[in-house]
Amino acid sequence: MRQDRATLLKEARILSDRGKLNQADERKFQALMSEAASLKTQIEQLESRGGAPPSGDVDGGHRETREQEQHALAFSSYIRNGINGMPEEQRALLQQYRAERRDMGIDGGNSVTGPRGSFLVPIGFVDRIEAALKFSGNLLRDCTIMPTVTGQPMPYPMSDDTQILGELIGENTQVTTQDVSLSNVVFGAYKFSSRLVKASLELVEDSAFDLETWLSGVLGTRLSRVLNNYLTTGTGVNQPRGIITAALAAGNIVAGVGAAGNDGVSLGNSIGTTDIQNLVHAVDPLYREDESCRLMMHDQTRKRLAQQLDKYGRPIFPYSPVQGATDDFIMGYKVSLNNAMDQLQVSPTSPPVTRNVMVFGPLKKYVARRVKDMSMLVLRERFIDYGQLGYLIFTRWDGNLLNAASESAQSPIALLQTNF
């Protein structure tokens, strides 16, 4: 399969090197790339199941590793020297990993690839960016990330049989028929950019400086911020559907009553033990047994909880890391911080303001779809009069909550609101 894919990519590369293609060659090029992408998907699926190289190709795994290493070296040369400053063999290797670009002047227009196009980021570089994403955003750390090879619409099947019981039947009695209710969530792929990062020529040309690590940290942090925001509060219209938006639509909402029952004085912009108990029990017990259950809130909300005292002046929700670990727990559930969520209202307003201050449930039920390949552009001319190069990464994501039924008892996620 790897050999077949290499042959397809070679034929496609020969076509693309001709320059502008006619309609027939363009269709042939797209067919070759589509078949190569399909083979890539099959290869990755086999590898994920522990598939071994075919007999007679005992060195297949090592050859794949060497190809990845060569790609990483070529990519490093590209970000330092540009496509025109690369050795021919490295340039040819990168051509196999070119990302598709579309003509901005044509809506849904012609696919154009070539030496001026963007190039797919190698696996090692992607792994570094992934580490930066997970470090910066707890939702990306706690939810389910589903990598896909392509960005085409992808239905995710679901079933809901929660309201159906079995039956008691008598002797010689025919059983009744009850089909399982099936549905799906369709994941798209929305494009995000890191925005431009500029670096001086001196920095780029200094071989002692680890340019790849620096870039992956900067770009990963930027992407984590924008992704965390949209995966939390995205509307779902031409953008991902955030977990808060999905929870609101599901209707499993708990109205906060405040901590007056704990200290006798707190107002409606506080959170008490009753609020968290109501929030936890708004989720089905089977969901509550899931190890991915979290209480997710803004860092400032967690601070306010830690400052909340009972009638004897003792903290109600102290920070409670497990011995030898850094996890924080409230009522036995881990706390996940997400600064894209609302903070508690500070002062009363007229009319009162509603805040979505806390989420509870198995966060793995929120799925973030990531199109596996990132692509990078190196802008070598735009800032050259300043002695700088520009770097830009594109990545595609979507997100949605699974089994977010309109019946609140079935939704895996419950939302705590305050009104003050």
pLDDT by residue for the chain (420 residues), tens only, comes to 888 888 888 787 777 666 666 777 777 877 787 787 778 777 776 766 554 444 444 444 455 567 777 777 777 777 777 777 777 777 777 766 555 444 333 333 333 333 344 656 766 677 777 777 776 678 999 999 999 888 889 988 877 766 778 888 888 888 888 887 777 889 999 999 999 988 888 888 776 667 777 888 888 888 989 999 999 999 999 999 999 999 999 999 999 999 999 999 998 899 999 999 999 999 999 899 999 999 999 999 999 999 999 999 999 999 876 555 578 999 999 999 999 999 999 888 889 999 999 999 999 999 999 987 788 888 888 888 889 989 888 999 999 999 876 544 578 999 999 999
DSSP classification of residue 374: -
- pLDDT value for 72: 75
Q: Which residues pair with 366 in a beta bridge?
A: 401
- Which run of H or of E encompasses 8? helix 2-16
C-alpha to C-alpha distance for 67 and 403, rounded to whole angstroms = 41
C-alpha to C-alpha distance for 171 and 192, rounded to whole angstroms = 62
Half-sphere exposure for 53 (CA within 13 Å, toward CB):
12
- pLDDT value for 244: 97
Render the burial of 407-420: b for 16+ CB within 10 Å, e for the rest.
Answer: eeebbbbbbbbbeb
Q: Which fold has domain 124-158+181-240+368-401?
A: Major capsid protein gp5 fold (3.30.2400)
C-alpha to C-alpha distance for 309 and 318, rounded to whole angstroms = 9
C-alpha to C-alpha distance for 328 and 307, rounded to whole angstroms = 15
Q: Which residues pair with 199 in a beta bridge?
A: 389
In the chain, CATH 3.30.2400.30 covers 124-158+181-240+368-401
- pLDDT value for 237: 94
Quick one: CA dihedral 157, 239, 145, 249, positive or negative? negative
Torsion of CA 124, 129, 130, 135, to 10 degrees: 130
Residue type, 377: L
DSSP classification of residue 396: E
Structural contact between residues 232 and 240, judged by C-beta atoms closer than 8 angstroms: no
- pLDDT value for 214: 82
- pLDDT value for 363: 96
End-to-end CA distance of the chain: 62
Structural contact between residues 361 and 284, judged by C-beta atoms closer than 8 angstroms: no
Helices and strands, number each (H, E), in the chain: 13, 17
Q: Which residues pair with 333 in a beta bridge?
A: 330
- pLDDT value for 405: 64
SS3 231: helix
Q: Which of 143, 344, 310 is nearest to 228 (CA)?
A: 143
Structural contact between residues 257 and 275, judged by C-beta atoms closer than 8 angstroms: yes
C-alpha to C-alpha distance for 381 and 229, rounded to whole angstroms = 33
- pLDDT value for 48: 60
C-alpha to C-alpha distance for 367 and 145, rounded to whole angstroms = 6
